[in-house]
Amino acid sequence: MNDMKYLTLNEKAVAILQSNDRGGYTVPTSGLYPYQWNWDSVFAAWGFATFDKPRAWDELDTLFASQWDDGMVPHIIFHQDDPGYFPGPDMWQVNRNPATSGISQPPVAATLAREILAMDPDGLDRVRALFPKIKAWHRWWAEQRCSQGPVAITHPWESGRDNCPDWDIGMANVDGSNVGDYQRRDTGHVDASMRPGKEDYDRYLAILYFGRDTGWNQSEIVANGPFLMADPGITFILLRAHVDLIEIGRQLGEDVQEIETWAAALRSSLPMIWNADIGAYDARDLRTGTFSGNIGSGAFLSLLADESTPELDTHLQRIWDAVAYGIPSFDPDAVLFDPRRYWRGPTWPVVNSLIALGLRRAGRFEDEARLRRETAQLISKHGFFEYFDPKDATPCGGNDFTWTAAIWLTWAGRDFQEEAD
């Protein structure tokens, strides 16, 4: 990368995307995440669309080239071996070329493809090729993961919000005592206090081993796997993605009836994840019916799907006002709040960008502007980090992060005035 010191923030963001570009796909950040990650990659595409539209579509094409025959789009694509990441392809044992992981990740593709299409008058042909693939992925969610109503995840990593307190009750039922010795790599790149703990990793591996031992048999994993929870985050992301895919389909002259059916079914299942005891959407253990009892970014993603409620809004204002830089991934008034540990408290600029899409659609322009301003302050003062302490802005996790750079270009940096030195 050039000497970053003399670049404007926009130039830095572009340079980060370019330096994380591995040719057709983009790594989230070098070192910590050296492969193609599903939702990171879609955000990368959105960022590329601000300065290189064909490259934006290429990113999505590369991602969907690794779609499984059943429609699933894996959460990691291991394009080239990198010993700096664990668990790598040898652990997942998915027999594909390139190798992939065996689980999925939040389906933001339709939503961001629609954003990219709006930026690219020549994009219709590119999106035409992607439409059936995105639709097949949505069908996979609808058929394999929505049988009880809201979206079920089979591994916390599928949620993208890996170790948020939402999953604690489901993880408590996972036996991680038999996974043997292994060497984590993430804590070699990032301070261990900002990452999930060893007990979390033991259980992540136990769930992975279960899936691997079934040969990644979806029905078996959903029926008998050690972890199955309803995820409000993916439920709202998928709901919005259905709506956006319907819109894209209409522009292409495609029949969208099936997608409308999935969207209606998903919307009507929302009462199942409404926890009246806390007045918020909540994660739920689908093996026991128990709610997690936590309020965090999964609930606030309801804004993305036009599904806010007055009670949830009251929580949002309280939680946002309790920090300097919203919106924290977890309730700062809760005992488990941990402001720098991965998804247990920090503010994630990329989640803010999704919530902002919802705020804009709802006409809540002041809230959207506040969120954009606070996000821009974090990035402009501290760099393009993965996440930040919501109270004192300490930058956390990986640096020169692709999706933070991407959302700077597409959203957070909009209207931002650089201060002269």
Q: Is 9 left (phi over 0), alpha (psi -120 to 50) or beta?
A: alpha
73 to 112: interface string for ligand DGY, x by CB under 6 A: --x-------------------------------------
CA angle at residue 157 from 154 to 159, to 5 degrees? Answer: 75
Determine the Cα–Cα distance for residues 138 and 140; give it in Å rounded to an integer: 5
Rounded-to-integer distance, Cα 155 and Cα 162, Å: 9
- Asked if 43 and 408 touch (Cβ cutoff 8 Å), the reply is no
| Catalytic option among 162, 247, 254, 313 | 162
Q: CA angle, 223 as apex, 222 and 228 as ends, to 5°?
A: 50
Q: How far is the CB of 211 from ligand DGY (least distance, A)?
A: 14
Q: Would you give the binding string for ligand DGY spanning residues 304-343, x where CB under 6 A is met? A: ----------------------------------------
Q: Binding marks (x or -) toward ligand DGY, 49..78, rule CB under 6 A?
A: --------------------------x---
User: What's the closest the beta carbon of residue 289 comes to ligand DGY, in angstroms?
Assistant: 27
Strand, helix or coil for residue 396: strand
Which residue number, 185 or 267, has a Cβ lying nearer to ligand DGY? 185
User: Which phi and psi angles does 356 have, rounded to 5°?
Assistant: -65, -35
| Rounded CA separation 206/233 (Å) | 23
Number of H helices, E strands in the chain: 17, 10
Least distance CB 66 / ligand DGY (angstroms): 15
Residue closest to ligand DGY (Cβ): 157
Distance CA 202, CA 143 (A): 30
Distance between CA atoms of 340 and 342, rounded to whole angstroms?
Answer: 6
Residue from 46, 157, 210, 384 in contact with ligand DGY (CB under 6 A): 157
| CB-nearer residue toward ligand DGY: 75 or 133 | 75
If the CB atoms of residues 36 and 218 are measured against ligand DGY, the closer one turns out to be 36
**120 belongs to the catalytic site:** no
Residue number, 32 or 116, with CB nearest to ligand DGY? 32
Contact pattern from residue 253 through residue 272 relative to ligand DGY, giving x for each residue in contact according to CB under 6 A and a dash for the rest: --------------------
For the bound state, the minimum distance from the C-beta of residue 153 to ligand DGY, rounded and expressed in Å, comes to 12
Residues binding ligand DGY: what is the number (CB under 6 A)?
4
Examine residue 162 and tell whether it contacts ligand DGY (CB under 6 A).
yes
Between vectors from CA 73 to CA 265 and to CA 61, what angle results, nearest 5°? 115
Taking the C-alpha atoms of residue 378 and residue 393, their distance in angstroms, rounded to an integer, is 6
Give the residue with the Cβ less far from ligand DGY, 77 or 256: 77
Query: DSSP string of 173-233?
Result: TS--TTS-----SHHHHS-GGGS--HHHHHHHHHHHHHHHHTTS-HHHHHHH-S--EE-HH
* Catalytic status, residue 419: no
Question: Which is nearer to ligand DGY, 341 or 372 (by Cβ)?
Answer: 341
Applying CB under 6 A, does 155 fall inside the site for ligand DGY? no
* Contact positions vs ligand DGY (CB under 6 A): 75, 157, 162, 186
Residues catalogued as catalytic: 162, 386
